[in-house]
Amino acid sequence: MSSTAAGYKFKVAICGGGISGLCLAVALNRRCPDIKVELYEATDRFKEIGAGIMIWSRTWKIMELMGLAPELSKIAHAPPDGSMGTGFDYRRSDQPQEGFRFHWVRMPYGCIRFHRAHFLDIFVDQLPPNVARFKMKLNSYSQSHRDGPIFLNFSDGTTSTCDILIGADGIKSTIRAQMFQEASERESRPELLDFIKPVYTGTTTYRGLIPIKSLNSLPPNHRAIADPMMYCGKSKHVVSYSIAKGDIVNVVTFASDITKEGTQYEDGDSQWVTECPQQELLDCYANWEPEVEQLLQRIEKPTRWAIHHLKPLPFYVDGRVALIGDAAHAMSPHQGAGAGMAIEDAFVLAHVLEHATASTLGSALEAWQKVRLPFGNHVLRGSYESGVMYEFNSDMGDNYDVLGPAIEKQWHWVSETTPEDEVARASEYYKELSG
Ligand SMILES: Cc1cc2nc3c(=O)[nH]c(=O)nc-3n(C[C@H](O)[C@H](O)[C@H](O)COP(=O)(O)OP(=O)(O)OC[C@H]3O[C@@H](n4cnc5c(N)ncnc54)[C@H](O)[C@@H]3O)c2cc1C
């Protein structure tokens, strides 16, 4: 049966039920009742890890436009009100005596923070029934011709079809692997194979959550309770911020060997996330200023993460298949931007698809890519560079007079354009491309 006969103009298959896939499914459902959406998730439920997540004003704007802001306000660290707030308070902290602020980034809304699981739940709650299919791990896709339907093959042997396929399947994306493998063979470009595997950034992260109750014994002016903090030292830094209406402090620490950026992680893919003893964390930041030690001593069971990112991809779209979120631009977390970029991918894509027809889907995805690829890759590169700066490893070292303004400049992407600008540009491109 054709899509039209079935009562919808085309069918979108979304592979992956993380923040990017869920946001796209919700945005399409809200904007485009005449598009059929199916979301395939490999695991048996939607889930997020126990950790914090931050977003910035441009992502908050999208949440307002999608009608999600009222619910999100209830679960944020505090209801966002648009006033000037702290992005990050940057301190020099790798010495036993009290450190000092060397830069303070402030911006409208500041840093808006959530518990990840609560954040994801808001999207899950908005998803209509019968859209999500669980335990559906996509193995591969195929097409008899580039403008025709796409056939989906799942690991349990089942199959399905769609008119466009969106790879929202995360940093180790199956769809990216197939897309770049096929393009490499088709175009005789072996260099495209280099974009398939994520590369190690050289950074190890330790993560933990501290219930605010256990911070009660701290000095009442401990900065981590009030503001997002960036405690910086040579080749290391520690981030902390409150989440869950201020009930929890989220801590993420970073230790880097920049000579390892771009290599394959020596402990193998299965060891990217592991539990580790608290002592390992304490040893890593021994002799840092007291307020850092006070935080780390309260993380009883840290997890250790090997931070990976992608080489900036040369394309996110191949025919009627597109990559969004981490599948397209997995980035190091130094600007808390990966999920925000995933949400923006989804938001812009839903707007472009709203106006597309079954015969203009290729143009719609091209138009989307023209806007999202330069931006996603810009933030990916900037995020990595920011981490290098925070750890005094850029050519500015710890010359605070130049480093502070340079760090500030790294944040310009947050407000240089708006999500509505991005939608308008993508819509213009779509009109040009679809004639
Ligand atoms: C330490 C750290 C801190 C971070 N902090 C922030 C922050 O503060 N702010 C921010 O914006 N970003 C942050 N990020 C980045 C953010 O977490 C990611 O960018 C975001 O979660 C990516 O979402 P996604 O939906 O694209 O991918 P994922 O969340 O990885 O979701 C992919 C989904 O696809 C499913 N899947 C995989 N393969 C298949 C398949 N073959 N078939 C079907 N389903 C499949 C998976 O099960 C999963 O559910 C941080 C990242 C790290 C590592």
pLDDT, tens digit (0-9, with 9 covering 90-100), for 341-374: 999 999 999 999 999 999 999 999 999 999 999 9
Distance CA 342, CA 345 (A): 5
What does the pLDDT read at residue 5?
Answer: 61
- Average pLDDT score over residue span 371-397: 98
pLDDT band at 111, cuts 50/70/90? very high
- Residues contacting 385, CB < 8 A, separation 6+: 394, 410
Residue 427 inside a domain? The answer is yes
Closest CA to 145 of 167, 166, 163: 163
Q: Is residue 224 one of the residues assigned to a domain?
A: yes
Q: Are residues 429 and 366 in the same domain?
A: yes
Give yes or no: residues 320 and 429 share one domain.
yes
- Residue 140 and residue 94 share a domain: no
Q: Is residue 258 domain-resident?
A: yes
Between 3 and 142, the higher pLDDT residue: 142
Angle 190-193-196 from CA coordinates, rounded to 5°: 170
Going by pLDDT thresholds of 50, 70 and 90, the confidence category of residue 3 is: low
* Inter-axis angle of helices 419-434 and 361-390, nearest 10: 140
Q: What is the pLDDT of residues 59-78, one digit of tens each?
A: 999 999 999 999 999 999 99
Q: Is the pLDDT of residue 414 over 90?
A: yes
Nearest CA to ligand 1 atom 9: 336
- Checking if the pLDDT of 295 tops 70, the result is yes
What is the CA(400)–ligand 1 centre distance, in A? 34
Residues 121 and 221 in one domain: no
Q: How far apart are CA 253 and CA 235, in angstroms?
A: 11
Q: What is the pLDDT of residue 30?
A: 93
Range of the domain at 213: 84-115+199-309
Q: What angle, 0 to 180 degrees and rounded to 10, lies between the N-to-C axes of helices 338-355 and 19-31?
A: 30
The average confidence (pLDDT) of the chain is 95
- With respect to residue 74, please indicate whether it lies within any of the assigned structural domains: no
312 closest CA partner among 169, 218, 176: 176
- Side by side, the strands of the sheet bearing 321-323 are 132-133, 35-40, 10-15, 164-167, 321-323, 317-318
Confidence of residue 34 (pLDDT cuts 50, 70, 90): very high
Q: Does the pLDDT at position 218 exceed 80?
A: no
Same domain, 249 and 279: yes
If asked whether residues 381 and 253 sit together in one domain, one would say no
CATH code, 211: 3.30.9.30
pLDDT tens-digit map of 162-201: 999 999 999 999 999 999 999 999 999 999 999 999 999 9
pLDDT at 29: 95
- pLDDT at 247 (0 to 100): 87
Same-domain status, 47 and 153: yes
Kindly indicate the confidence band of residue 2, based on its pLDDT and cuts at 50, 70 and 90: low
pLDDT at 22 over 90: yes
Q: Whole-angstrom Cα distance, residue 115 to residue 129?
A: 25
| Residues 321 and 228 occupy one common structural domain | no
Separation CA 70–CA 296 (nearest Å): 34
Q: Which of 309, 334, 350 is the last residue of a domain?
A: 309
Q: What is the mean pLDDT of residues 372-395?
A: 98
Give the number of the atom of ligand 1 that is nearest the alpha carbon of residue 23. Answer: 25
Domain count, the chain: 2
Interval 377-406 mean pLDDT: 98
Q: Which of ligand 1's atoms lies nearest the C-alpha of 46?
A: 49
Asked whether residue 193 falls in the same domain as residue 319, the answer is yes
Residue with token string 């396929």? 165
**Segment among 4-8, 118-122, 307-311, 349-353 with least mean pLDDT:** 4-8
Please report the pLDDT score of residue 148 as a whole number. Answer: 86
pLDDT digits (tens, 9 = 90+) for 303-339: 999 999 999 999 999 999 999 999 999 999 999 999 9
CATH number of the domain enclosing 367: 3.50.50.60
**Do 164 and 300 share a domain, yes or no?**
no
Ligand 1 binding pocket (C-beta < 6 A) is 15-21, 40-43, 53-55, 137-138, 168-170, 174, 205, 252, 305, 307, 325-326, 333, 336-340, 342
Tell the residue nearest (CA) to atom 31 of ligand 1: 18
As a whole number of angstroms, the distance between CA 7 and CA 316 comes to 29
In-domain check, residue 409: no
Contact 103, 122 (CB under 8 A): no
Q: How confident is the model at residue 222 (pLDDT cuts 50, 70, 90)?
A: confident
One domain for residues 331 and 384? yes
**Is the pLDDT at 296 greater than 70, yes or no?**
yes
**pLDDT of 64:** 97
Give the chain's end-to-end CA distance (angstroms, integer): 28
**Bridge partners (DSSP) listed for residue 100:** 92
Please give the number of the atom of ligand 1 that sits closest to the Cα of 54: 8
**Is residue 406 situated within a structural domain?**
no
The percentage of residues in the chain with a pLDDT greater than 70, rounded to a whole number, is: 99
45, pLDDT greater than 80 = yes
Encoding tokens for residue 417? 């354009």
Quick check: 219 pLDDT over 80? no
Asked if residues 97 and 40 have their Cβ atoms less than 8 Å apart, the reply is no
Last residue of a domain, one of 282, 309, 336: 309
Same domain for 294 and 422, yes or no, is no
Q: Ligand 1 centroid to 393 CA: how many Å?
A: 27
What is the mean predicted confidence (pLDDT) over 276-296? 96
Domain end among 289, 309, 329: 309
Residue 145 above 70 pLDDT? Answer: yes
Q: Whose CA is nearest to atom 21 of ligand 1?
A: 339
Let me know if residue 407 belongs to a domain. no
- Is the pLDDT assigned to residue 1 strictly greater than 60? no
Structure-block tokens of residue 188: 């005789």
Task: Indicate if the pLDDT at residue 36 is higher than 80.
Answer: yes
Average pLDDT over residues 275-292: 96
Residue having the nearest C-alpha atom to atom 7 of ligand 1: 336
Can you give the chain as a three-state secondary structure string? CCCCCCCCCEEEEEECCCHHHHHHHHHHHHHCCCEEEEEECCCCCCCCCCCEEEECHHHHHHHHHCCCHHHHHHHCCCCCCCCEEEEEEEEECCCCCCCEEEEEEEEECCCEEEEHHHHHHHHHHHCCCCCEECCCCEEEEEECCCCCCEEEEECCCCEEEECEEEECCCCCCHHHHHHHHHHHHHCCCHHHHHHCCCEEEEEEEEEEEEEHHHHCCCCCCCHHHHCCEEEEECCEEEEEEEEHHHCEEEEEEEEECHHHCCECCCCCHHHCEEECCHHHHHHHCCCCCHHHHHHHCCCCCCEEEEEEECCCCCCCEECCEEECCHHHHCCCCCCCCHHHHHHHHHHHHHHHHHHCCHHHHHHHHHHHHHHHHHHHHHHHHHHHHHHHHHCCCCCCCCCHHHHHHHHHHHCCHHHHCCHHHHHHHHHHHHHHHHC
Mutation probe of ligand 1 site: the residue of 169, 242, 413 with most atoms within 8 A of C-beta: 169
Does some domain include residue 64? no
Q: Is the per-residue pLDDT at 267 higher than 80?
A: no
Closest ligand 1 atom to 175 CA: 41
Give residue 201 CA to ligand 1 midpoint distance, Å. 17
The residues that bridge with 39 in the sheet, in sequence order, are 14, 132
